[in-house]
Amino acid sequence: MSNLVILDSGHAEYVEGKQAPDKSLKEWDFNNQMQYKLKKRLEDHNISVYLTNPSPAKSNEMGLTKRATLANSYWSNRSKPNSLFISIHANAYGSTFNTARGTETYVAKNASSNSKKAAKYVNDEIVKAIKKIDSNGKDRGVKTENFTVIYKANMPSILIEYAFYTNKDDLNILKNNKDNLVEATVIAICKYFNITYKSPTSNNDTNKNESNNNTSEDSNLYYRVIAGSYKNKDNANKMVKELKSKGYSAFIVNYKE
């Protein structure tokens, strides 16, 4: 049975407030972008993903108990696989820009040791990634608070506050470094499930080579590489085999002169 991550994207578009003082980031939108980026990267690692709040755009706020109930029934209907529930948020302090900043991750008072372990891994990796971007990034640590959504979730559960959108430096990171935050979270989740983390570029070398070398501005233009033409099909097959053994994705195309 594969591991399951339940992502709970905080808030919906019609929530009051919850945006940067300069209106350049809305929390629901950040959370939503993060959930789909995380979903893709977790699936790259053969981790199943369930979303409690898949379409927050043009929607009213979703109740916290409902989020936990959705997670619990999905989980128990699948015979309770090895799971982690993650509620995705960004933080605020007041409604004008100020100095409060940093990353904090919450567990509920009833948290299992697995919840605490996951929270520590996730918080540490996010802080590490943020400090690489901005050495003044702040680690606010793992905290305990009975937020309904994590209190009522039956599987190990954590709530991440990635950084503060009411702090200009944190806001920059939330706006411009989502992929770094996603990778940090995925690294921590892999550690939690004890599986090997794969960086985004390591699993598709062919595409990487193509994009690195492509200086053309015409996206419809392709450069086909010919390695040889053969009268005898066995010789053609031999060449394909040799190219494949060297890591090239070769194939045969028939033509007549």
The residues binding Zn ion (CB under 5 A) are: 10, 89
Contacts of 20 (CB under 8 A, 6+ apart): 26, 165, 166, 171
- Judged by beta carbon, residue 4 or residue 174, the one nearer Zn ion is 174
91 vs 119: CA distance, rounded Å:
16
Nearest approach in angstroms of CB 28 to Zn ion is 8
- Judged by beta carbon, residue 10 or residue 56, the one nearer Zn ion is 10
**Rounded to whole angstroms, what are the CA distances from 52 to 86, 129, 140, 241?**
10, 27, 27, 47
Nearest approach in angstroms of CB 189 to Zn ion is 20
The 10 Å Cβ neighbour count of residue 74 is 16
- Going by C-alpha positions, the residue among 76, 73, 86 that lies closest to residue 10 is 86
- Going by C-alpha positions, the residue among 123, 58, 119, 53 that lies closest to residue 84 is 119
Nearest approach in angstroms of CB 10 to Zn ion is 4
Nearest approach in angstroms of CB 67 to Zn ion is 12
- Judged by beta carbon, residue 4 or residue 70, the one nearer Zn ion is 70
- Judged by beta carbon, residue 39 or residue 89, the one nearer Zn ion is 89
5 vs 69: CA distance, rounded Å:
15
- Judged by beta carbon, residue 41 or residue 89, the one nearer Zn ion is 89
Residue nearest to Zn ion (CB): 89
Nearest approach in angstroms of CB 29 to Zn ion is 12
